[in-house]
Amino acid sequence: MRAEAPPIGSEIDLSGWSRTFSEEFDSLDISARGPGTRWIAHVPWGGDFGDARFTDPAPGFPFTTRDGVLRIEARKVGNVWRSGLIASVDPQGRGFAQRYGYFEIRARMPEGEGVWPAFWLVGIDRSTATAEIDVLEYYGAKPDLFKSVAHVWNRDGSRPHYSDWSRSPAPGATTAFNTYGVDVEEDWITVYFNRRAVWRTPTKPEHRQPLYVMANLALGGGFPIDRTPDPSVFEIDYIRVYAR
């Protein structure tokens, strides 16, 4: 029997939880693909997506930290857009991942059509399917909204892919720092904005495994980038993970 889901609009209380991961961005421990750093700068399985190339870290670009805030910058280098991504495991699966719990980012979105920042989780085991939870996808063409999606991408073609999604209000997304979080439980995936539940979906079996963390500033996502501000900056105050 499925457990009762948190009511939409309810506030999550973390007082009885323990913090298992805390990135405050006083500095940034990152390499292109590891090993031995807290973050890598590409998706662990390789390849890019969107209309900007994710770039190896270099002094001053695409990552900088200032006063405890990570700035991921997208800008044109020649005629090519470049930007940044951080992932908490390397291609060998070494790094931080957690089965169940509350995953949260506090961030301010960039303005402008074509920006596509995200905060998302992916399952360690990709042998037969990729389990993905997009806690936050923000499209600059749709300000004051954010999209959340639960995906299962089946890799062997034997079953159709699965997606369930919702758009939620995010007032002040570009003018203030807000929190975007997800509580992944055995029965329910519940998304929170400023720690109030805005959407939930049943947990698929593929999501009942350790999930690692990614955040990035991509461009495009189905929207044109000819009017995207150059540069554009996604600001992240912290990323934290909790366990009951």
Q: Could you tell me which residues are beta bridge partners of residue 163? A: 151
Phi-psi region of 127 (alpha: psi -120 to 50; beta: other; left: phi over 0): alpha
Q: Is the pLDDT of residue 233 over 80?
A: yes
Task: Over range 141-169, report the average pLDDT.
Answer: 93
Do the Cβ atoms of 118 and 215 come closer than 8 Å? yes
159 falls in which pLDDT band (50, 70, 90)? confident
Per-residue pLDDT tens for 100-152?
999 999 999 999 999 999 999 999 999 999 999 999 999 999 999 999 999 99
- Supply the Cα-derived Rg of the chain in whole angstroms: 17
Q: Is the pLDDT of residue 157 over 80?
A: no
Task: Over range 157-176, report the average pLDDT.
Answer: 94
Do the Cβ atoms of 149 and 163 come closer than 8 Å? yes
Distance CA 163, CA 124 (A): 19
Nearest by Cα to 182 from 127, 142, 135:
135
Q: Which two tokens stand for residue 180?
A: 């975007």
Per-residue pLDDT tens for 10-58?
999 999 999 999 999 999 999 999 999 999 999 999 888 999 999 999 9
Q: Which residues contact 147 (CB under 8 A, 6 or more apart)?
A: 134, 136, 137, 138, 139, 165, 166, 167, 168
Q: Which residues contact 145 (CB under 8 A, 6 or more apart)?
A: 138, 139, 167, 168, 169, 170
- The three-class DSSP label of residue 205 is helix
Q: What pLDDT, on the 0 to 100 scale, is given for residue 222?
A: 95
Q: Which two tokens stand for residue 87?
A: 């992932």
Q: What pLDDT, on the 0 to 100 scale, is given for residue 1?
A: 64
Distance CA 150, CA 159 (A): 16
Per-residue pLDDT tens for 183-219?
999 999 999 999 999 999 999 999 999 999 999 999 9
